[in-house]
Amino acid sequence: MGLIEIEGMDFFAYHGCFKEERVIGTRFTVDAWLTTDTSAAEASDELKHTVNYQAVYALIRHEMEQHSHLLEHVASRIIDALYRDFTTLTHVRIKVSKLNPALAHGGKIRQVSVMLER
């Protein structure tokens, strides 16, 4: 088994519970940890025998473009899509972080994150 880590994917998206967040948007980062059997790729040195991180990025970008209120919903959709499109995955962990989230009563938070795994 192998673990493929894709860290620091940056997106501008419109997720949030506040109307302003869904209009103005903000920056997000996504990290993915994908467990899969890498033995064929180890032996062949062929991209077709592993999980292509560029295809993973494209899938995650597509999911980030779909508006949601909650980061939990976004992360869950990403996991569902990864399992749908990459059948060799045996375990997936996704972390979605909203950078500089809006606060109802002022204040400042660098980021808030949700991590889900299945």
Is 108 an annotated catalytic residue? Answer: no
From 19, 95, 98, 108, active-site residue: 98
What single DSSP character describes residue 47? Answer: G
Reference 117, options 66, 68, 63, 78; nearest CA is 78
Expressed in angstroms, the distance from the first to the final Cα of the chain is 16
Active site residue ranges? 98
